[in-house]
Homo-oligomer: A and B are copies of this chain.
């Protein structure tokens, strides 16, 4: 067998018995296979024993700044925002983990199919971090970064690439921050870094582009519908959650159907949606960070509320079942503590840690006690969605006396997945 000094990222030429092949080396799980990403975007695996000769045409450097990406400006235009995460990362040879890529062209180079579908008129990289490190300031920056793209009539839709860890929280924030939408905003991700053969990034990005060109003017999350590399689902931003730590179909609809099945070349809608149009989007990023999410567990001491009440304005409880924490029949009743803080102005909302299903304060005595204490029951709203919405509502000083109505107003399909303009 020939000696091959190839490293992931190298652009190489390989001679086989009947032909020569050029491509970029990607990391292979199998030591006896050379994996190449071809110019077409397809990956090909070549058994080393079949290789007669091979040489590196261009050595891979982690920082290559002079790449040229050729765009076709006859294609419909989109805006692209890159924020970091696995979709903008590569395997790192030093740690065995992944590291962020640092160059926009390097990002695009990995996705030639995208450039066959759209002309990327505007690219923004407002920050580049893994999503577990984001907070509300990033959501606000993102909304502000999207705004001019909504106002640019050439741009048909906006794609945001983002880490998966807190992607659903960001989708919720954008759903509330940007109202009266005129074109699609599509968040997407990958679970495996883009230089791995098994990466899900390519299909996700193509389906995100297809959705960005569609007539659906919603904040959506697009990603693999199942473990096959076949099609994606588009989810409403307020009704989706990461439900697997590593599978490519990590995101699932909760208490709503997906909005659409998305293929690289077509969209099949499953639900009603807001149509793209000439409405003037409103970007409203008022947000209070003085909100917390508390997941209840059996025997939990309610004094945790004393800690939060000192500095916070609102709390979302992730209760059990139909929306419970320990009531009067328990050794650690939360009722007196809740009553005291709610009386002093703390807003307390109830969701359920079952995630699926809705809360209901009218079945069991514990919930009736909680309702009497002033706890706001949030129907079938996801705890994560409720947390972000409460920050949004409490960020609006003018809504101060209407917090309960606002929390129960269906602003972005967060209740029942029903959109209020249908």
Chain A interface helix/strand/loop/mixed:
loop
Q: Which of B246, B297, B353, B363 contacts A97 (CB under 8 A)? A: B363
Contact bitstring A351-364, B, C-beta under 8 A = 1, else 0: 01111111110111
Bound-state CA distance A246–B380 (Å) is 11
In the complex, A398 has a CB within 8 A of chain B: no
Binds B, one of A26-34, A144-152, A213-221, A318-326: A318-326
Minimum CB–CB distance from A199 to chain B (whole Å) comes to 14
In the complex, A130 has a CB within 8 A of chain B: yes
- Indicate if the CB atoms of B320 and A131 lie closer than 8 Å: yes
Bound-state CA distance A245–B353 (Å) is 8
Bound-state CA distance A304–B307 (Å) is 8
In the complex, A73 has a CB within 8 A of chain B: no
**Given that A245-B354, A331-B137, A354-B250 are known contacts, is A321 also in contact with B132, CB under 8 Å in the complex?**
yes
- Name, among A95, A245, A384, the residue most crowded by chain B CB atoms within 10 Å (CB to CB): A245
Q: Which of B135, B298, B318 contacts A332 (CB under 8 A)? A: B135
Binds B, one of A109-117, A288-296, A410-418: A288-296
Residues of B within 8 A of A76 (CB): none
- Indicate if the CB atoms of B129 and A330 lie closer than 8 Å: yes
- Indicate if the CB atoms of A298 and B134 lie closer than 8 Å: yes
Interface size class of A (residues with CB under 8 A): 35 or more
Minimum CB–CB distance from A254 to chain B (whole Å) comes to 10
Bound-state CA distance A272–B292 (Å) is 42
Q: Which of B163, B246, B289, B362 contacts A299 (CB under 8 A)? A: B289
In the complex, A300 has a CB within 8 A of chain B: yes
Binds B, one of A41-49, A58-66, A164-172, A258-266: A164-172
- Name, among A132, A137, A327, the residue most crowded by chain B CB atoms within 10 Å (CB to CB): A132
Copies of this chain in its oligomeric complex = 2
In the complex, A365 has a CB within 8 A of chain B: yes
- Indicate if the CB atoms of B329 and A129 lie closer than 8 Å: yes
- Indicate if the CB atoms of B96 and A132 lie closer than 8 Å: no
In the complex, A55 has a CB within 8 A of chain B: no
Residues of B within 8 A of A257 (CB): none
**Given that A132-B321, A133-B327 are known contacts, is A293 also in contact with B295, CB under 8 Å in the complex?**
yes
- Indicate if the CB atoms of B246 and A135 lie closer than 8 Å: no
- Indicate if the CB atoms of A298 and B136 lie closer than 8 Å: yes
CB nearest neighbor in B for A138 = B298
Binding site for B on A (CB under 8 A): 95-99, 129-137, 163-166, 169, 242-247, 250, 289, 292-295, 297-300, 304, 307, 318-327, 329-332, 352-360, 362-366, 368, 384, 387
* Besides A133-B329, A164-B321, A244-B357, 10 other A-B contacts (C-beta < 8 A): A134-B299, A135-B298, A135-B299, A166-B298, A169-B297, A242-B321, A243-B354, A243-B356, A246-B358, A297-B384
